[in-house]
Chains A and B, each alone.
Chain A
Amino acid sequence: MKIPVFSALSAVLLSTKILWADPITPVDLAPISHTDATLVVVGADGSETAYSPSQLEEFPTYSLTTATPWRDAPARFEGVLLADVLAAHGIREADAISVRAENDYSTVIPRVIWDSLDVLVATRVNGKPHTRRARGPIQFIIDMDAYTASGDTTESNLVWMAARISAEQ
């Protein structure tokens, strides 16, 4: 009887974000010379705020080691939480956000993604500034295990060369 009960309990616990063995950890980042890049965030009031990678890192910073669809070997990504950035501009509770990349690519990300998963807005890879050729300088990263387990995620959530965020009307 113990084994099924334990299994069921584990399944319940693993299915919740809070008790997940969270791979994302807070980290303090020393200043670094970043690749030139700008992420504009349009707030709930319509105001636009431009962030360089260094300015973004003024939000609480985190570290996440994971593979990506374009990296077979895991890399250590560092950056800030998308949820924190959105919260700072009053659009965390928006139903969805529209994200545009430097190459004019754009996508819509529903709220369930940043509510249920830790979406890291990465500015560094393996301790170095993120580069465009490595799909930076600003890239949305989700832990690959959580990405695979979730039924809500798609590859379009992992935006690279992110340039602008606004609430989806």
Chain B
Amino acid sequence: MIGTGKITGRLDRILDRFASRLGIISVVGLLFVICAAVGFYVQTVVSQLEFNHSKFRDQNARNGYVALSDIHRLLMVTQKAVNTGEMTPELKSDFANATDVLFVRLDSLRASIAQHEEIRSAPATINSLDQIIEIADAAIAEDSPDIDLLMDTLLAAAVDARSHLVQFLDDMRRQADKVLDKQSRAVRKQQVVVLANLTCLTLIGSVALLLLRREVLGRRARESAEARVEFLAFFDPLTRLPNRSQFQDRLERMLKDDRPLALLFIDLDEFKMINDTYGHAAGDAVLKHVGGVLSKLANENKGFAARLGGDEYAIVVPSDHVVRLTSLCQRILSDVAAPFSFESESFEIGLSIGLATSTQVSQNETVTLDLLSRVTDFALYASKSAGRGCYTFYNHELEGRYQERRDMLEELPGAIQHGDLEVHLQPKVTLVDKKVFGFEALVRWRRGGQLVPPNQFILIAEESGMVVDIDHFVLRNATKMVADWNTDHGTDFSVSVNLSALHFTSVRIVEWVQDALWSSLLNPSRLTLEITETMEMRDWKQARSVISGLRKLGCKIAIDDFGTGYSSLAYLRTTSADELKIDRSLVEELESSEKARLLLTSVMDIARNLEFEVTVEGIETDRQGSIVTKMGAQNGQGYFFGRPEAPEAAFSAAMNNNRPSRQMSPN
């Protein structure tokens, strides 16, 4: 391959030189010289051939043969006179005519010989013929010539002439051979020249063809590249669907036509998980599969599908018919949900769909691309908020909710900076004596005079990544206020701080915790970091590394919200935690449901076997507290023991709680 590449490169360099101006001038010049040389040579050869031909056509040979015939004719007439015994007038006329014929033949022979190169035997031949004519003329001049003498004389002269003519004809034959030989040599030379010429022209033609081929290939490559560029400008190369740019152009054109249409925004649910778990090849296969399904359904509805980027798609259909659009959404969800496999892995693909029609939007204002996209986005967000895997039609209420969310998103960074966030503390008690041993730090947002609970903004903060800063804020403040209180009042309260799963992608949180402990001087063993298993924590290796770093600082780790969401037994086994916090959902029906009690008992057994300290959340009644205490839970948390309060109030309540001894009601 390397050899071939070198040869190709060398050939390219040679062709490049040929294709230069100097190269082309040289080649054209060479062609001109070849053509001129060949033309000149061919002209020379043709002239030579014509010359040879003219010699070959020379009348000399014929004159020689005919002269023999003419001599013979003259002798025949004379012989007739000898036979008759006299030269009758008739024979005399014939004799004169025969002499004249021979005379003309001699004249012709003399003329043709004079035109060409000297023939050695020609003079003697002509002399011998002249001799015969002289004898004949002398006989004609006599009235009664001696016929016998005439015959003898003529015979002697004829023998001499015949001998010379034979020699002359041999000379002519040799000349003919010479001419033919020259012809043959000329043809052979011409053959060489023609072959050489053809070789040169073939070489030049080959070079020209190679150059032409390069040009054609280059042009094809350019055209292909241009087509590729054009394709990339307007199509998504992976799914081959129109891209965002083309989507916008086409949608704008359709909106200008002022005919009803619907816009669907479609996002894949949990696509990141597919990419992270199965690799990008699988992710790409899913994107292509979904693209194909959407394109087919869009075409069936006389619309088009586009990929806007990542796992975002759009469909535009020329209809605002709600039933039809509902049917389309259901088809999309069902068709995409159909089993799809890639490299022996089977995928369950879910979608969230937001939909808005131009008719809905145009009730209030002119429909533009931006406006329609914005309201469709509301609908899509609603679908996602509703738990994904569903579709939502746009309405004004949605827009209000979306607006509120967007406002929060815009205000949250300022809230962190300007101190609008507050840390509230909810007591955690030992169930046996109900004494407060610590608190869970919970964030509150004082927004426009109102206190906003975390469930209204933490999800937004997590989606935007701002939860990291919020956690940091809570960590610093909670450790400081608890440490200060302990120092000031000789207490030994602990504090639990929630950490978002987003922290477990880097070890930066370890540094933050260390800083918080150092700056607050809180005993590390009095800090518990509560974590919740989520999809983002599927990178166990990294998460375990972070948890290990935190534990090395002396902190405790609590698994929060156990029994909900993604918490699993595998998680319990692989996570090095100290405390298990059982979610309120397992406690709510504890008093009325045997099944709930059995479930919680089982969880307690597991926790005990794994040597977790157990804290039960959501205890709102004394009876619930008694039940979980009997089950073996060590700690409790809930409204029954105290709501989240401002630090001062929480501390005071805890101090008051711990002073008198409270009795639990009998079970």
Is A34 located at the chain interface by the 8 A CB criterion? Answer: no
Is B93 located at the chain interface by the 8 A CB criterion? Answer: yes
Q: Assess the B104–A132 pair: CB atoms within 8 A.
A: yes
Taking CB atoms, residues of chain A closer than 8 Å to B93 are 36
Taking CB atoms, residues of chain A closer than 8 Å to B73 are 103
Q: Assess the B97–A102 pair: CB atoms within 8 A.
A: yes
Q: Among residues 81 to 122 in chain B, which have CB atoms less than 8 Å away from a CB atom of chain A?
A: 93, 97, 100-101, 103-105, 107-108, 111
Q: Among residues 92 to 106 in chain A, which have CB atoms less than 8 Å away from a CB atom of chain B?
A: 102-105
Taking CB atoms, residues of chain B closer than 8 Å to A66 are none
Q: Assess the A70–B107 pair: CB atoms within 8 A.
A: yes
Is A140 located at the chain interface by the 8 A CB criterion? Answer: no
Is A160 located at the chain interface by the 8 A CB criterion? Answer: yes
Nearest A residue to B105, CB-CB:
A103
Docked complex Cα distance between A158 and B291 (Å): 97
Q: Select which of B69, B101, B103, B108 is within 8 A of A70 by beta carbon.
A: B108
Q: Assess the A70–B97 pair: CB atoms within 8 A.
A: no
Q: Assess the B111–A161 pair: CB atoms within 8 A.
A: no
Taking CB atoms, residues of chain B closer than 8 Å to A70 are 107-108, 111
Minimum Cβ distance to chain B for residue A11 (Å): 26
Docked complex Cα distance between A131 and B107 (Å): 14
Q: Assess the A103–B111 pair: CB atoms within 8 A.
A: no
Taking CB atoms, residues of chain A closer than 8 Å to B28 are none
Interface of B is mostly: helix
Taking CB atoms, residues of chain A closer than 8 Å to B560 are none
Docked complex Cα distance between A34 and B105 (Å): 22
Is A2 located at the chain interface by the 8 A CB criterion? Answer: no
Instruction: Contacts A36-B93, A103-B66 given; indicate if A161 touches B107 (C-beta within 8 A).
Output: no
Taking CB atoms, residues of chain B closer than 8 Å to A160 are 104
Taking CB atoms, residues of chain A closer than 8 Å to B100 are 131-133
Encoded as 1 (CB less than 8 Å from any A CB) or 0, chain B from 54 to 74 comes to: 000000000000100110010
Taking CB atoms, residues of chain B closer than 8 Å to A103 are 66, 69-70, 73, 101, 104-105
Interface size on A, residues (CB 8 A): 12
Taking CB atoms, residues of chain B closer than 8 Å to A111 are none
Minimum Cβ distance to chain A for residue B488 (Å): 125
Minimum Cβ distance to chain A for residue B601 (Å): 125
Q: Assess the A132–B108 pair: CB atoms within 8 A.
A: no
Nearest B residue to A70, CB-CB:
B111
Docked complex Cα distance between A135 and B73 (Å): 18
Docked complex Cα distance between A105 and B108 (Å): 14
Nearest A residue to B62, CB-CB:
A105
Q: Select which of B66, B70, B104 is within 8 A of A133 by beta carbon.
A: B104
Q: Assess the B103–A133 pair: CB atoms within 8 A.
A: yes
Taking CB atoms, residues of chain A closer than 8 Å to B108 are 70
Q: Assess the A132–B97 pair: CB atoms within 8 A.
A: yes
Taking CB atoms, residues of chain A closer than 8 Å to B66 are 103, 105
Taking CB atoms, residues of chain B closer than 8 Å to A131 are 100
Taking CB atoms, residues of chain A closer than 8 Å to B111 are 70
Docked complex Cα distance between A102 and B97 (Å): 9
Encoded as 1 (CB less than 8 Å from any B CB) or 0, chain A from 110 to 132 comes to: 00000000000000000000011
Docked complex Cα distance between A102 and B96 (Å): 13
Encoded as 1 (CB less than 8 Å from any A CB) or 0, chain B from 106 to 148 comes to: 0110010000000000000000000000000000000000000
Docked complex Cα distance between A161 and B98 (Å): 12
Most B C-beta atoms less than 10 A away, residue of A36, A102, A133, A161? A133
Most B C-beta atoms less than 10 A away, residue of A36, A103, A131? A103
Nearest A residue to B98, CB-CB:
A103
Docked complex Cα distance between A151 and B73 (Å): 36
Nearest B residue to A36, CB-CB:
B93
Docked complex Cα distance between A104 and B73 (Å): 11
Docked complex Cα distance between A135 and B111 (Å): 14
Encoded as 1 (CB less than 8 Å from any B CB) or 0, chain A from 68 to 100 comes to: 001000000000000000000000000000000
Taking CB atoms, residues of chain B closer than 8 Å to A104 are 69
Minimum Cβ distance to chain B for residue A82 (Å): 21
Taking CB atoms, residues of chain B closer than 8 Å to A102 are 97, 101
Taking CB atoms, residues of chain B closer than 8 Å to A133 are 100, 103-104, 107
* Contact sample, A vs B, 10 pairs, CB 8 Å cutoff: A36-B93, A102-B97, A102-B101, A105-B66, A132-B97, A132-B104, A133-B100, A133-B103, A133-B104, A135-B104
The 4 closest A-B pairs by CB, nearest first: A132-B100, A103-B101, A133-B103, A133-B100
